[in-house]
Structure 1
Amino acid sequence: MELYLNDVYPYAQQISNYIEREIFQQKLKAGQKLLSITNLSKELNVSKHTIQLSYKILRKKELIVKKGNDFFVTKDNCCIITKMKEETDLQIIKCLHELAEMGYSREQTKSLILRKLETLKFPQ
């Protein structure tokens, strides 16, 4: 995982976004133990506080749980992932409505989306 200083998101958000993607792609499985705050902070060369904030974001989304001093991917994350995908769908619909309200035609919107899709990296 690489962190970017000039990214629009602070390190804590970049880390939580990365872990969230790993959960969505099922690279991190339900019940799997995450690296400790200390080990992950050393691996990424960031403060423990940054990792604590990342894990706090993920706990708030109910994607991970804390047991003692350890953190695990939630066992019921399938329902949570489905809910988050539905919320993402709603955000996309909202953006499409906003484009229409700004005067974008159907063809302009389609062209914009297709251009952006070309620049994205999708999992295999």
Structure 2
Amino acid sequence: MSIEFDNNLPIYLQIMNYLKREIVRGGLKPGDKIPSVRELAADLQINPNTVQRTFQELEREGIVETRRGLGRYVTSEGSKIMTIKKEMASELLEHFIRGMQELGFKEQDIMSIVSEAVKEDVNQESR
């Protein structure tokens, strides 16, 4: 696992976001075992307490579950994963729309730009 850390955001949040992205995109599947605190801390070269905090937060959010004596696993609850996916998409859209509005674009302009970009992307994928 490789994460390029941003000095402006707490490391535990960056690890949480990385793991959430891996889960919603399917890199970590429901029921998959997550590396231990020690393994992940060694891999990322960070303090184990930071990883522990990350896992506590993920567990509090219901994204991972601890199985006593076996470790931590991605939740098998598909609806929870879909909820996380929708929340992440909503955050991206909110950031994008705010940025476009700050550039002076109106709703119809934003819709046209997005529509054209999607068509372009589809055309490039079909080549």
TM-score (norm 2): 0.68
One-letter code aligned to 1:37: V
Q: Indicate conservation of the 8 Å contact 1:99/1:109, yes or no.
A: yes
Alignment partner of 2:20: what SS? helix
Partner Cα distance (1:40, 1:63) in 2? 17
- How far the C-alpha of 1:16 sits from its partner, in A, is 1.3
Correspondence for 2:44: 44
Partner Cα distance (2:44, 2:86) in 1? 31
Q: Does 1:67 align with 2:59?
A: no
Q: Sort the Cα spacing of 1:79 and 1:71 in 2 relative to 1 into closer, same or farther, 3 A.
A: same
Correspondence for 1:87: 87
Alignment partner of 2:46: what SS? coil
String of CA shifts for 1:97-121, please: whole Å, max 9, x gaps: 796599532365358869xx99xxx
Correspondence for 2:33: 33
- How far the C-alpha of 1:54 sits from its partner, in A, is 1.3
Correspondence for 1:109: 110
Alignment partner of 1:66: what SS? strand
Correspondence for 1:122: none
Correspondence for 1:19: 19
- How far the C-alpha of 1:7 sits from its partner, in A, is 4.2
Correspondence for 1:121: none
Computed over aligned residues only, the root mean square deviation of the Cα atoms, in angstroms, reads 3.4
Partner Cα distance (1:47, 1:35) in 2? 15
Paired residue total: 116
One-letter code aligned to 1:59: E
- How far the C-alpha of 1:5 sits from its partner, in A, is 4.3
TM-score (norm 1): 0.69
The runs of 5 or more residues in structure 1 that have no matched partner are: 119-124
String of CA shifts for 1:52-84, please: whole Å, max 9, x gaps: 1111221122110112251111111x1012222
